[in-house]
């Protein structure tokens, strides 16, 4: 579905590319240049934004909606790399990957997405050392997340992984009772956590049984965060308020 193109330029202002911490070292001239080539499009669920291995000319900013990043083998089995909500950038790191997208991207919830030329970004990091340094910290954090994901898959069981996922949805320093809303379909959460939907369903009820959390559809209520921390964080090498690991990028 080739959904309606509805704007160009100026979108950078609205977009929030400018609002991203990653780009805070950039001058207005950079944003203006970007804006000239920016293009915002609406996409509906199911649309493939690009495929792993495609030649890349753009990176993207998600204004609205949800994007699933994944990789696929020849025989058709897929691995979900990440699921990005509005406010995230994607395909940035393509500039370090010979201009080939390192994963495929699929719209999983009607979205509005702005594209920007990678070439401009490349030019900018050549000269803007602070941007390069910001990208380094950002990528380092992202890499740490990946490492933690490997660890989790190795030592946490399915209910613990779900508990850990829920904990990351809670704003920092929250005390007492909390209400959590799953940010997307259970099937997607399952994919994100590397398990089957059936396993997710069973694991969630086990989590409920073991920790006493309350579940109503996509809404989950905790009397106290401790409930979950005790259950999930036991099988993890980081201790609880997993500092800023909810941020993603690249």
Among 148, 157, 224, 227, binds DNA (CB under 7 A): 157
Of the candidates 126, 196, 205, 246, which one interacts with a second copy according to CB under 8 A? Answer: 126
Token couple for 233:
């964080």
| Site of tokens 């977009």 | 15
Residue 141, CA distances (Å) to 177, 244, 249 in order:
29, 8, 9
Comparing CA positions, the residue from 153, 67, 148 lying closest to residue 104 is: 67
Among 141, 202, 206, 208, which residue interacts with a second copy (rule: CB under 8 A)?
141
Is there binding between residue 142 and a second copy (CB under 8 A)?
yes
Q: List binders of DNA among 187-216 (CB under 7 A).
A: 187-188, 194-205
- The answer to whether 102 contacts a second copy (rule: CB under 8 A) is yes
71 interacts with a second copy by CB under 8 A: yes
Instruction: List the structure tokens of 245.
Output: 């690991």
Q: What does 219 bind: a second copy, DNA, none (CB cut-off 5 to 8 Å by kind)? A: none
Residue 163 contact partner, candidates a second copy, DNA, none, CB within 5 to 8 A by sort of partner: none
Q: Residues 55, 147, 210, 221: which binds a second copy (CB under 8 A)?
A: 147
* Cα–Cα distances in angstroms (integers) from residue 2 to residues 6, 58, 145, 178, in the given order: 12, 17, 34, 41
Helices (H), the chain: 11-15, 28-37, 118-127, 129-155, 158-168, 186-192, 197-211, 225-232
Stretch that binds a second copy, among 13-21, 73-81, 158-166, 198-206 (CB under 8 A): 73-81
Other C-beta atoms closer than 10 Å to the C-beta of 174 total 13
Residues that bind a second copy (CB under 8 A): 52, 71-75, 77, 79, 81, 93, 96-97, 102-103, 125-127, 129, 132-133, 135-137, 139-144, 146-147, 149-151, 153-155, 194, 234-237, 250
């Amino acid at each position: 579905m080739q959904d309606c193109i509805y704007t160009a330029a100026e979108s950078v202002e609205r977009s929030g590319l400018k609002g991203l911490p990653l780009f805070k070292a950039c001058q207005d001239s950079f944003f203006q240049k970007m804006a000239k080539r920016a293009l915002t499009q609406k996409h509906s669920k199911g649309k493939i934004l690009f495929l792993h291995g495609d030649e890349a000319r753009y990176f993207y900013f998600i204004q609205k909606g949800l994007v699933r990043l994944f990789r696929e083998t020849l025989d058709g089995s897929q691995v979900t790399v990440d699921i990005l909500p509005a406010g995230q950038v994607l395909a940035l790191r393509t500039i370090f990957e010979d201009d080939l997208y390192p994963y495929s991207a699929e719209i999983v919830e009607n979205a509005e997405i702005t594209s920007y030329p990678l070439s401009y970004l490349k030019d900018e990091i050549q000269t803007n050392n602070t941007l390069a340094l910001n990208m380094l910290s950002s990528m380092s954090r992202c890499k740490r997340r990946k490492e933690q994901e490997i660890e989790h898959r190795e030592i946490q069981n399915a209910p613990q992984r779900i508990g850990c996922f829920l904990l990351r949805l809670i704003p920092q320093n929250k005390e007492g009772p909390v209400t959590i809303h799953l940010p997307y379909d259970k099937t997607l959460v399952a994919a994100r956590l590397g398990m089957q939907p059936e396993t997710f369903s069973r694991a969630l009820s086990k989590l409920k049984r073991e920790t006493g959390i309350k579940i109503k559809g996509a809404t989950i209520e905790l009397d106290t965060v401790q409930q979950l921390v005790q259950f999930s964080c036991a099988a993890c090498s980081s201790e609880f308020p997993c500092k800023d690991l909810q941020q993603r990028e690249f």
